[in-house]
Structures are given as structure tokens and as C-alpha cells.
Amino acid sequence: MPDAIISVQRVSKQVSDATGTLTILHEIDFELQPRESAAIVGASGSGKSTLLGIIAGLDVPSSGRVTLAGIDLFALDEDARAAARARQLGFVFQSFQLLGNLTALENVMLPLELLGAPNARARATEMLGRVGLAQRLAHYPRTLSGGEQQRVALARAFVVEPAVLLADEPTGSLDFATGERVMQLMFDMNREAGTTLLLVTHDADIAARCDRQLHLEAGRLTPPTA
């Protein structure tokens, strides 16, 4: 079996306020292999998005270890973690997270430019064509529908050819039919690119399309039901 692309080892997360300490995650352990797909599922408040943020290196665990493509994320300083994210990860968010002052093409070019990658314009143009937006290159996010904005976000995530794609409720802001089209596109592109997919979803049908489901209950991973 190949080395795990993601390894989460005894990860816990606590936050404190005037009322005391709240444990959001309790010693989470799992691994994902290259090309594997997994869904993090659970009730609202179970810690799903917190776990995804820690795996991305956007949030810091109170204890435990996360390795991404063999890199110990929290042995790095913040700048080095950001550089590792830029090389290894693509992100798709529920709220799209497009920059409103940039066109669709410029939004997709941006991660390539930050990496100093060659041919950013040509690569971004090709990727937008693959998601069916070849006629929308010069459009700003405010002039695009929700489904179109999410397709721009998908193109931006995949254009860097990431080893791992993370998605946090990627259809949560979309109507059912549009969400179905976006998810089909995501799974198709993920399969073609050979990336590892980890997504947070409350949709049982989407979760069932993944190779595995990781069930979180009150911050703990629970065995899947038969």
C-alpha cells in the first residue's frame, strides 16, 4: 500500500472562554491514501469544519499531528504551512471565496501566479473551458450565477494540480439541480486528475459516492454503521 497522503494522528482541539474549556475534537486518528475519496459527516456542531481546517493547516490543533504528503504541517511556521498548502492543496468552499474585483479568468490565474507557475493565463483559460465557462472569462463574480461561481472555484482549485482537494459543504449555497451538476463535475475532475478528495457534507447521497465516510459525533470519530 502506498504511503498515506494525509495522516491525522491523535488530533484534539480545545477552545476556552469565560465559561471554561470546550473540546471540539477528541483524539482523531485516520489516514487517506492517494486517489482515495472520503466524506466527513455528522450533525451540525460535531467538529467537521474544524477538522477540515486543521487538515488544511488553516487552524492549529491543541494536540496531535497532521502530515500532508509526508510533511508534518505543525512542525512548520505559518509561512511554510502556507507554502505547503499552495503546492499540495486545492480548496472549494460553500461560499465560493472568489475575489470580487477579479474576473473569472483572473481568479483562476491567481494561485498559479502566486506559485510563479509559467503560462498562467493559458492554463487558467483551459481549465475554465473544462468547467464549461469558456464564454465567461471576463465576467466578474457578481455577474455569475451561484453555480457558475462554484465552477470558477472548482477551476481555481484544480488548476494547480493539487495532490489533495478539500471541499467544505461545496453545494450548500446551491439549489438541488445545480448542486448535482457541480458535484458530478467535481467527482469527474477528481477522478481524471487522480487527486485525493476529502469533503465535508450533510448530504447522505454525496457522502455515499465517496470511497469512505468518516462519522463525527460530538468531536469523536465513530465506527460506521453496517
Three-class SS of residue 167?
strand
Q: Cβ distance 168 to 52 under 8 Å?
A: yes
Q: Cβ distance 69 to 7 under 8 Å?
A: no
Over residues 159-169, the mean pLDDT reads 91
Q: Cβ distance 167 to 209 under 8 Å?
A: no
pLDDT tens, residue by residue, 18-77:
888 999 999 999 999 999 999 999 988 899 999 999 999 989 999 999 999 899 999 999
Sequence letter at residue 148: E
Residue of 194, 124, 192 lying closest to 157 (CA atoms): 124
What pLDDT, on the 0 to 100 scale, is given for residue 92? Answer: 86
The pLDDT of residue 84 is above 80: yes
Q: Cβ distance 128 to 135 under 8 Å?
A: no
pLDDT tens, residue by residue, 92-140:
887 888 999 999 999 999 999 988 999 999 999 999 998 899 999 999 9
Residue of 212, 198, 221 lying closest to 56 (CA atoms): 198
What pLDDT, on the 0 to 100 scale, is given for residue 101? Answer: 95
pLDDT tens, residue by residue, 132-162:
999 999 999 999 999 999 999 999 998 988 9
DSSP string, 68-90: ETTEEGGGS-HHHHHHHHHHHEE
Q: How many CA atoms lie within 13 A of 120 on its CB side?
A: 14
Q: Cβ distance 59 to 13 under 8 Å?
A: yes
